[in-house]
Chains A and B, each alone.
Chain A
Amino acid sequence: NAGVTQTPKFQVLKTGQSMTLQCAQDMNHEYMSWYRQDPGMGLRLIHYSVGAGITDQGEVPNGYNVSRSTTEDFPLRLLSAAPSQTSVYFCASSIGGGTEAFFGQGTRLTVV
């Protein structure tokens, strides 16, 4: 049972570089989301998707892009990395919005 798989686990980027954080789930969940975790801030919602082809912005969407071409995959793209995007990123999936969410192991991103 893979659940939610995120890659990579660690990444160091230079300011201005772009990259894609991968997220895949094998539970056939319609709802997927991306969060970032920062000290003292908890988990903040970046983008979410209620199904293939449908995405929307969360609380902190600036500097990030998402797409949802399949039910399984929900990649997060950093368009031009900034030091403020240094964080731990979590992908989650659930049957529906606001229900029990299953999280991936996280990606620790450092932007220098």
Chain B
Amino acid sequence: DQQVKQNSPSLSVQEGRISILNCDYTNSMFDYFLWYKKYPAEGPTFLISISSIKDKNEDGRFTVFLNKSAKHLSLHIVPSQPGDSAVYFCAARGDGSARQLTFGSGTQLTVLP
């Protein structure tokens, strides 16, 4: 049973427009959420995070929104650029003693020039 779900395997967006990537979770004890970006043949790299006590965190073109009541977070990229084309993973931190991360299955974003 996946505790972190990314229901859209892929998303295509025109350059300059907004990209919205979604993530849902089931465990209400998750207290910290992260987004990672992954290019082919490379390891994932950290992009942005948000604590459960906030509902928004912004870093340049990237904004993450958290809706705790809906157990939903989203990553907005504005404006989208061709270099943003990658797989995006959301991850959530559990409440176990080691606080390990649980990852979603990823969304392939393609930004079309």
- Report A's interface with B, CB cutoff 8 A: 4, 31, 33, 35, 40-45, 48, 50, 56, 58, 90, 92, 96-98, 100-106
Contacts and interface: CB of A to CB of B under 8 A. Distances in A.
Contact of B98 (A41, A44, A50): A50
Given A42-B89, A42-B103, A98 B41 contact: no
A56 B98 contact: yes
Contacts of A42: 4, 6, 89, 103-106
A25 to B, nearest CB: 12
Interface of B: 4, 6, 9, 32, 34, 36, 41-46, 49, 89, 91, 93-94, 98-106
A36 to B, nearest CB: 11
Given A42-B104, A43-B103, 20 more contacts: A35-B103, A40-B9, A41-B105, A42-B6, A43-B44, A50-B98, A56-B98, A58-B100, A92-B43, A96-B99, A97-B98, A97-B100, A98-B32, A98-B94, A98-B99, A100-B34, A100-B46, A100-B49, A103-B36, A105-B42
6 contacts: A43-B91, A43-B103, A50-B98, A97-B99, A98-B32, A106-B43
A27 to B, nearest CB: 13
Contacts of B41: 105-106
Contacts of B46: 100-102
Contacts of A50: 98
Contacts of B43: 4, 90, 92, 103-106
Tell me the interface secondary structure of chain A in the complex: strand
B35 to A, nearest CB: 11
Contacts of A56: 98
Given A50-B98, A101-B46, A44 B103 contact: yes
B105 A98 contact: no
Nearest to B31: A98
B8 to A, nearest CB: 12
Contacts of A92: 43
A48 B98 contact: yes
